[in-house]
Amino acid sequence: MLGSIAYTPYFVLLLLSTTVDAWYDPPTILSYEKGLSCSRVERSSKLEDAYITFHVDLMIADLKIPGLIFHYPDIVNFSSIPTIEEVNQLYPKEKKRLYKRSLTEDGKFNLEAAEGYTVDESKLWTGIVDKDTKFNIPQSGIYCAYIAPDNKNQANFNLPIVFKNHYGSLSLRNYVFYSQLKFLVPISVVIFVALHRFIKVGKGSTTRNSISFISNQVIFAILVPFTVLHFYTLIVYWIKNNFYDSSQNTYITCILYTTAQLADSAFNSFTSYAIVLFAMGYGTIYYHSEKTGQYRLFPQGSLINLNLFLAGDIVLSYFTEIHSQRHSRSYGDDFNGKTTIIQISFVSIIIRIVSIFIDFVWLILPFTFYFRTKKDIATSPPITPDAKDNDKVLSSCKKTFIVIFLSTIIKAMSFAVISLLVALIGGYNLPSFPEDTDRGLVYQSALRVMMDEQESPLRWGKIWLRWIQLLVLVVSISSFWSEIRLY
C-alpha cells in the first residue's frame, strides 16, 4: 500500500500542473500595460558574462520608447525616478501623472541627483530603445528596467528583456538549489545501492523476500521517490538554465518547472504521512490486506481519514506554491495600489496559518499514535514466529522514534540559528537612511530590495538540513528493522 501511495501524489500534481497558466512562470516582457521588470543578476570577474538586453523589432524601433536600466538600490541617488511601487500603481492607467515627474521635457528619464547624492551614469543605461541594446552590469545585484512609451499612442507592443547571469538563466536561489542537487542525487544513489546490498547480503539474506517489510518500504517508498524527484528537478533546472532565457517561455517548460516545484512539496507531505502510518502500527501489527496471518487489517476508518488529510495537504501545497510564485516572481509586478497589497497580505497570512496548523498536526500525530501502538504490540499475541521478536519490534520502534524526534528538534533548532544569522548579517550590512523625511517611501523601497540582495551561503545550510535529516532517517530506520522478518 505505502509503495503505491508513494507515487500517487506525483501523478496528481502532474495533472494539477497542467492547469497552471503561463502567468505562473512568466517571461520578462514589457508592454504598454507593464512598464518595468526587475531581477537579480549575478556576474563573475568577467564583465561581459552577465548582462541585460532589450530585443527590439521594427515596430518597437519606430515607437522610440525611452528606457532606463539601473541597479535598484541606487534609486536613493535620484530625485525623480519613481519607485517600483509607484510605477506599478500609476503606469497602467495614469502614465501622464507618472511621466510628469520622472521624465524631462525631451521625453527622457530624469537622472537629476537627489540632494546630498550623486549619480554615476557609468553604472546605468538610459536612452531610446530603437535597437537591440546590451548593458553589461557593473556589479551583482537587483536591476530594474523601466520604459516610458508615449501615453497618447496606446500601441500594442511586446518588448522582450533578458536578464542573463554568468551561470545561465535561473534565479540565484534556484541556481543554488540546482548546484546542490548535483551532489545530492549521486549521494542518494550510493545510499540506495549500499542499503539494498546491506539488507540483502550484509545480514545474511539471499532472497528479496527476506528483506524486512519496513526496511523495504523505507527504501522503495521514501528513498527511491526522493532520488527520482530530485533527479527530475535537476534535469528541469538544467534545461531552464541553459536553453531558455528570461524572456522565453513555453507551456511545456512551464508544466515541467511547475511539476518539479510542486512535487517537492508533495514529497514532504508524503514523508510525514508515512511516519504517521508507521506510528499507527502499519508494518508491525497492521497491514492493508488480510492475506497474511501475522498482521491485523489496518483500521479502514483511520486510513481513509489519513488519506484525506494527505490529499488536503497536497492541494494546499499546490495553492501555496502558486500563490507564492505569483506574488514573488518579480518585484512589484502584481501590486496595483494599496488595496491589492492588503489583499495579498491577508491571503498570504491565511495560507501561512493553515500551513503551520497542518505542519503541527503532522508533527503531533506520530507521537500520539506511538504510545498507543507500543501498548498494542506489548499486549497483542506474537506477530512473528518467535515470540522474542516482539521485544525486537518494541526496541526498533523506540529507536526509530528517538531518531525521528531528535532529528526533527535538531533540524528546527539549526533552521532557527541559520535564520537568525542570516537576518543579523543582512541587517548589519544595510545602510542607515535619514528618518522623518519626505523621501521615506524611496528609502523603504530601496531597503526592501537590499534585504533581498543579502544572499548568504548560510542558506545552503537550510537546503542540506532537510536532505540530511531524511537520509539519516532512511539509513537509521532501514538498519533498525533489517533483522526483523515480519512475513
Domain boundary pick from 138, 164, 190: 164
Beta carbons of 213 and 286 less than 8 angstroms apart? no
Q: Does an H or E element contain 29, and which?
A: strand 29-31
- 126 CB contacts (<8 Å, ≥6 apart)? 66, 67, 68, 69, 108, 109, 111
Low pLDDT (below 70) residues in the chain: 1-26, 199-212, 249-250, 288-295, 321-346, 380-390, 426-428, 455-459, 483-487
Q: What pLDDT shows up at residue 421?
A: 79
C-alpha cell at 291: 492475506
Q: What pLDDT shows up at residue 389?
A: 62
CATH number of the domain enclosing 258:
1.20.1070
Nearest to 25, CA basis, from 311, 264, 314, 236 = 236
Is residue 91, in this structure, part of any structural domain at all?
A: yes
At CA 177, angle to CA 402 and CA 420, rounded to 5? Answer: 60
Write out the DSSP string of 387-454: TTHHHHHHHHHHHHHHHHHHHHHHHHHHHHHHHHHHHHHHHHHSPP--SSSTTHHHHHHHHHHHHHH-
Q: 190 and 114 in one domain?
A: no
C-alpha cell at 249: 517561455
> Would you give the DSSP letter of residue 47?
G
Domain boundary pick from 146, 164, 182: 164
Is residue 3, in this structure, part of any structural domain at all?
A: no
Q: 186 and 141 in one domain?
A: no
Cβ-count burial 165-175 (b if 16+ within 10 Å, e if not): bbbbbbbbebb
Is residue 20, in this structure, part of any structural domain at all?
A: no
Distance CA 453, CA 446 (A): 11
Q: 326 and 243 in one domain?
A: yes
Q: 286 and 236 in one domain?
A: yes
Q: What pLDDT shows up at residue 324?
A: 62
> Would you give the DSSP letter of residue 19?
T
Angle at which helix 300-328 crosses helix 251-279, to 10 degrees, equals: 140
Is residue 251, in this structure, part of any structural domain at all?
A: yes
Beta carbons of 411 and 387 less than 8 angstroms apart? no
Number of domain units in the chain: 2
Q: What is the CA radius of gyration of the chain?
A: 28
Cβ-count burial 40-74 (b if 16+ within 10 Å, e if not): bbbbeeeeeebbbbbbbeeebeebebbbbbbbbbb
Beta carbons of 195 and 478 less than 8 angstroms apart? yes
Distance CA 367, CA 364 (A): 6
Give the domain range for residue 157: 32-164
Q: 231 and 141 in one domain?
A: no
> Would you give the DSSP letter of residue 332?
S
Q: What pLDDT shows up at residue 478?
A: 86
C-alpha cell at 485: 522478518
Q: Does an H or E element contain 235, and which?
A: helix 224-243
3-class SS of residue 186:
helix
Nearest to 275, CA basis, from 378, 383, 403 = 403
Q: What pLDDT shows up at residue 207?
A: 42
Domain boundary pick from 164, 194, 214: 164
3-class SS of residue 333:
coil
Angle at which helix 251-279 crosses helix 389-429, to 10 degrees, equals: 130
Span 1-24, pLDDT tens digits? 555 554 455 444 444 443 443 334
User: How many of the other CB atoms lie within 10 Å of CB of 122?
Assistant: 7
- 149 CB contacts (<8 Å, ≥6 apart)? 32, 35, 63, 65, 95, 155, 157
Q: 179 and 139 in one domain?
A: no
Q: 291 and 395 in one domain?
A: yes
Q: 85 and 147 in one domain?
A: yes
Measured in residues, the chain has a length of: 487
Q: What pLDDT shows up at residue 471?
A: 92
Q: 158 and 187 in one domain?
A: no
Is residue 1, in this structure, part of any structural domain at all?
A: no
φ, ψ at 402 (rounded to 5°):
-65, -45
Q: 180 and 122 in one domain?
A: no
Nearest to 169, CA basis, from 291, 11, 14, 51 = 51
Is residue 15, in this structure, part of any structural domain at all?
A: no
- In the numeric block, the cell 526496541 is attached to 395
> Would you give the DSSP letter of residue 78?
B
Q: 144 and 208 in one domain?
A: no
Q: What pLDDT shows up at residue 226?
A: 92
Distance CA 52, CA 241 (A): 16
Q: 188 and 126 in one domain?
A: no
Q: What pLDDT shows up at residue 171?
A: 82
Is residue 12, in this structure, part of any structural domain at all?
A: no
User: How many of the other CB atoms lie within 10 Å of CB of 429?
Assistant: 12
Is residue 26, in this structure, part of any structural domain at all?
A: no
